[in-house]
Amino acid sequence: MKLWGGRFAKETDALVEEFNASIPFDKRLYEEDIRGSMAHCRMLANQGIICGDEAEQILAGLAVIKEEMDRGEVEFSLALEDIHMHVEKRLTEKIGPVGGKLHTGRSRNDQVALDMHMYVKKEILETVALIGNLQEALVNLAEDNLDAVMPGYTHLQRAQPVLFAHHLLAYFWMLQRDRERFLDSFGRADWMPLGAGALAGTTFPVDREMVASELGFAKLYENSMDAVSDRDFVLEFLSNSAIMMTHLSRLSEDIIIWNSQEFGFITLDDAFTTGSSIMPQKKNPDVAELVRGKTGRVYGHLMGLLTVLKGLPLAYNKDMQEDKEGLFDTVDTIKICLRLYAAMLRTVEPNKERMYAAVARDFASATDLADYLVRKGLPFREAHAVVGQLVGKCVAENRQLVDLTTEELTEACSHFEDDAKEMLPPEACVEARQSRGGTARSEVEVQIRHAKSLLINE
Ligand code: ARG
């Protein structure tokens, strides 16, 4: 007999049971469900809605069920639909009909909303900690390689020399905003829905403040229909995850390119690469590729839930059960991506000579030559044209800017003097960019100090 079987004359069709059940995935919420039920039970007793003795039996029963579930001893069945009914059924099996009093003044609609809020809050904090670990790995890799100069790119064309550390730290700051975004969303997951009942509130004199304070919620939902029908706190988790995965995916792309034979800027550790079943020489950056690939499924889960919710009338609709699998998969996906990335970055070996070679004989210092002319009084636009012509000449003659003699330079523009060629070494270009947030070593060191203080103080 179903917990809701009273008005039914027939058994549920087996296929419907299978289709309708959420237990295969919402069993993950058992801890939240039991903790929420315990708080609800204490409140019922405190308000005199059930008596103290009944509450004690219920609480003891729930504690045992929690242990059984911890040990994986409880058998789940599709017929019992979801985690809420499994716990309740088990409770009445253990302590008899008094277990049936637990659901007083409550509906699965506010119960599932409560569980989901508790779960999302927990996962936000875990995600924030994992992002912090990855940020730390980035700072360490940057700090250990402050002398590495490489080309900075736009359009994947060599643009201006930068420190390898500067490029890495760009990702630190992206992840810093991701961390802040998750933390900021915590405040909105921190609204307590229980007491909304099925949708309209409850006829029992419940004390919602008490439940909220027992479970560590900062706020109450002010409207029972809102409390049971919105999943914006899940959407925010998915959206924060999608944005963060965009950052990891771009980092992956950089790692994959740097690790290619053509670039050869870094070497990935054997432990974080895989081989080919046919080509014996292969060592593939699968971790980075898979992180890039998994970004797609995280985006998909966000679009999936947005689409599920967009046409739903208030309040609860069964459609909303579809909030779970995408969220759970997102949680699992982002956590393993963050863990793997932190571990992989700790083993990355930069090949500084290759990086330097890519920028040493190159036109990446062209801007610096133009800036030189500007400092001599030429308008930037004219300076740009002069250097552009010099680059054109070099390309035609298969030479580099460093190969030009001072005479050739002064011939192109009388403002060039002996010191002009001092602008050309890549490290000079890097050092010259001491603007706040620029790539000069002194500025990158400022970034590293700031970055480390953020990791310690949060
Ligand atoms: N398993 C359901 C869900 O995940 C729980 C709420 C069910 N409520 C209901 N009235 N059918 O959404």
Single out the residue of 135, 121, 136 nearest to residue 178, CA to CA: 135
Global confidence as pTM = 0.95
Q: Is 111 exposed, middle or buried (0-12, 13-18, 19+ CB in 10 A)?
A: buried
Say what the ipTM of the complex is: 0.96
Backbone φ and ψ for 203, nearest 5 degrees, come out as: -80, -10
> Is 114 a residue whose pLDDT tops 90?
yes
| Mean pLDDT of the region 21-48 | 98
pLDDT at 197: 98
Is 301 one of the catalytic residues? Answer: no
> Is 20 a residue whose pLDDT tops 80?
yes
Is the CB of residue 21 below 6 angstroms from any atom belonging to ligand 1? no
In this structure, which residue's CA is closest to atom 12 in ligand 1? 321
The Cα–Cα gap between 293 and 248 comes to 10
| Mean pLDDT of the region 28-39 | 98
What number of other Cβ atoms are within 10 A of residue 301's Cβ?
23
pLDDT at 302: 98
Q: Place 275 in a pLDDT band, splitting at 50, 70 and 90.
A: confident
> Is 172 a residue whose pLDDT tops 90?
yes
Instruction: Kindly report the average pLDDT of the chain as a whole number.
Output: 96
pLDDT by residue (tens digit) across 56-69? 999 999 999 999 99
pLDDT by residue (tens digit) across 207-235? 999 999 999 999 999 999 999 999 999 99
The Cα–Cα gap between 67 and 29 comes to 14
> Is 196 a residue whose pLDDT tops 70?
yes
Q: Is 107 exposed, middle or buried (0-12, 13-18, 19+ CB in 10 A)?
A: buried
**Contact between 30 and 71 (Cβ < 8 Å):** no
Q: Place 239 in a pLDDT band, splitting at 50, 70 and 90.
A: very high
The Cα–Cα gap between 236 and 16 comes to 31
Is the CB of residue 109 below 6 angstroms from any atom belonging to ligand 1? yes
Residue 49 amino acid letter: I
Which residues does residue 163 pair with via DSSP β-bridges, in sequence order?
A: 149
pLDDT at 2: 80
> Is 336 a residue whose pLDDT tops 90?
yes
The highest-level CATH class for domain 361-447 is mainly alpha
| Mean pLDDT of the region 25-32 | 98
In this structure, which residue's CA is closest to atom 2 in ligand 1? 321
Domain spans, the chain? 5-104, 109-195+221-356, 361-447
Output the six-digit token pair for 301: 């889960």
CATH number for the domain running over 109-195+221-356:
1.20.200.10
Q: Which of 155, 277, 435, 442 is catalytic?
A: 155
> Is 178 a residue whose pLDDT tops 90?
yes
- Spacing, Cα 319 to ligand 1 middle (Å): 9
Q: Which atom of ligand 1 has the smallest separation from the CA of 320? A: 12
* 3-state secondary structure at position 193: coil
> Is 458 a residue whose pLDDT tops 70?
no
Q: Place 115 in a pLDDT band, splitting at 50, 70 and 90.
A: very high
Q: Is 84 exposed, middle or buried (0-12, 13-18, 19+ CB in 10 A)?
A: buried
The Cα–Cα gap between 235 and 323 comes to 9
CATH number for the domain running over 5-104:
1.10.275.10
H/E run at residue 149: strand 149-154
Single out the residue of 291, 320, 317 nearest to residue 304, CA to CA: 320
pLDDT at 455: 95
pLDDT by residue (tens digit) across 417-441? 999 999 999 999 999 999 999 999 9
Could you say which DSSP state residue 160 is in? E
| Mean pLDDT of the region 106-130 | 98
| Torsion sign, CA atoms 420, 426, 431, 434 | positive
Is the CB of residue 308 below 6 angstroms from any atom belonging to ligand 1? no
**Which percentage of the chain shows pLDDT scores above 90?**
94
Is 155 one of the catalytic residues? Answer: yes
The Cα–Cα gap between 35 and 80 comes to 20
Is the CB of residue 240 below 6 angstroms from any atom belonging to ligand 1? no
Is the CB of residue 224 below 6 angstroms from any atom belonging to ligand 1? no
pLDDT at 212: 98
pLDDT at 4: 83
The Cα–Cα gap between 84 and 23 comes to 9
Q: Place 334 in a pLDDT band, splitting at 50, 70 and 90.
A: very high
pLDDT at 362: 85
> Is 6 a residue whose pLDDT tops 90?
no
- CB neighbour burial string for 377-406, b if at least 16 within 10 angstroms, e if fewer: ebeeeebbebbeebeeebeeeeebbeebee
| Mean pLDDT of the region 34-47 | 98
Backbone φ and ψ for 350, nearest 5 degrees, come out as: -75, 140
> Is 370 a residue whose pLDDT tops 70?
yes
> Is 1 a residue whose pLDDT tops 80?
no
**Contact between 151 and 158 (Cβ < 8 Å):** yes
| Mean pLDDT of the region 322-334 | 98
Q: Which of 77, 213, 260, 276 is catalytic?
A: 276
* Matching residue, tokens 């590495």: 148
